[in-house]
């Protein structure tokens, strides 16, 4: 379970990205974070991934208070997360196989296990056979799917994705979201930050709407104010 309690995040430049944000996400739930650019969606994901720490308030994941987590516990915590970026952040000089294998390698998995699970993850995202290719030999959509395969290969408990469909055409975006839904179906908590309300509506999952760092509300469809802002 992910819980934000009166969380405020102020960056060193003085910008307050979140102001007293409170919400919770159940284990195994799929939730969309929606809102305009600068609303605080990415900050929520950064706080969950412990890329940032809250200025005030408490963020907890599965009972762990992230603000008090010691640095040496960070790697083990991050191994229970899967993170998907809009810009993919693949290692350009490594083949697809190595990129996807990375979370397994850092956790010390046996080579045979790595091999089996990487191929399974690539199969899930429809990229079997692309193992030896370099990321720049793939299309943008394929690179995004490699990023997703990397995020799920180690069977994370929580999957977070920041604008994962930003660079994809509508069909591919839909396919990626279906993929996330399949992970949720097997018990993974999925948090997707997106401003694509059309996609959000199609999936009928709960949305948490952010506006200027504040939580406007949450529900199973985008709120009217959000719709109006687009």
Q: Can you give the binding site for another protein, defined by CB under 8 A?
A: 42, 46, 49, 51, 74-79, 81, 83, 89, 91, 102-103, 105-111, 113-114, 150, 154, 162
Q: b/e per residue, 170-189, with b = 16+ CB within 10 A?
A: eebbbbbbebbeebbeeebb
At its nearest, how many Å lie between another protein and the CB of residue 154? 8
Least Å distance between CB 202 and another protein?
A: 27
18 or 109: whose CB is closer to another protein? 109
Least distance to another protein, CB of residue 224, Å: 30
CB of 3 to another protein, least distance (A): 22
Written in H, E and C, the secondary structure of the chain is: CEEEEEEEEECCCCCEEEEEEEEEECCCCEEEEECCCCCCHHHHHHHHCCCCCCCEEEEEECCEEHHHCCHHHHHHHHCCEEEECCCCCCCCCCCHHHHHHHHHHHCCCCHHHHHHHHHHHHHHCCCCCCCCCCHHHCCHHHHHHHHHHHHHCCCCCEEEEECCCCCCCHHHHHHHHHHHHHHHHCCCEEEEECCCHHHHHHHCCEEEEEECCEEEEEECCCCHHHHHHC
Question: Which of 227, 206, 212 lies closest to 2 in space, CA to CA?
Answer: 206
Closest to another protein by CB, 77 vs 206, is 77
Toward another protein, which CB reaches closer, 183 or 203? 183
CA 44 to chain centre: 10
39 vs 81 by CB, closer to another protein: 81
Closer CB to another protein, 103 or 222, in the complex = 103
Q: Of 227, 217, 211, give the one whose Cα is nearest residue 17.
A: 211
* Identity of the residue, 74 or 140, whose beta carbon is nearer to another protein in the bound complex: 74
* Closest CB to another protein among residues 105, 140: 105
State in angstroms the smallest separation of the CB of 90 from another protein: 8
Q: Minimum distance from CB of 57 to another protein (Å)?
A: 20
Whole-number minimum distance, CB 30 to another protein, in Å? 21
């Amino acid at each position: 379970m992910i819980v934000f309690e009166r969380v405020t995040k102020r960056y060193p430049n003085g910008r307050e990205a979140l102001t007293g944000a409170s919400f919770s996400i159940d284990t195994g739930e799929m939730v969309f974070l929606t809102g305009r650019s600068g609303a605080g969606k990415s900050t929520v994901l950064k706080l969950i991934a412990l890329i940032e720490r809250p200025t005030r308030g408490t963020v907890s994941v599965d009972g762990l208070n992230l603000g008090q987590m010691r640095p040496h516990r960070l790697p083990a915590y991050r191994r229970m997360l899967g993170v998907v970026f809009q810009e993919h952040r693949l290692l350009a000089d490594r083949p697809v196989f190595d990129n996807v294998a990375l979370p397994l390698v850092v956790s010390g998995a046996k080579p045979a296990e790595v091999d089996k699970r990487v191929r399974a993850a690539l199969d899930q995202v429809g990229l079997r056979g692309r193992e030896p290719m370099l990321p720049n030999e793939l299309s943008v959509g394929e690179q995004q799917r490699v990023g997703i395969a990397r995020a799920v290969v180690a069977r994370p408990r929580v999957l977070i994705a920041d604008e994962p469909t930003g660079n994809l055409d509508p069909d591919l975006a839909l396919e990626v979201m279906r993929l996330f839904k399949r992970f949720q179906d097997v018990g993974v908590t999925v948090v997707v930050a997106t401003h694509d309300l059309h996609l959000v509506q199609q999936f009928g999952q709960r949305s948490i709407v952010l506006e200027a760092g504040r939580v406007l509300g949450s529900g199973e469809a985008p709120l009217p104010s959000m719709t109006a802002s687009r």
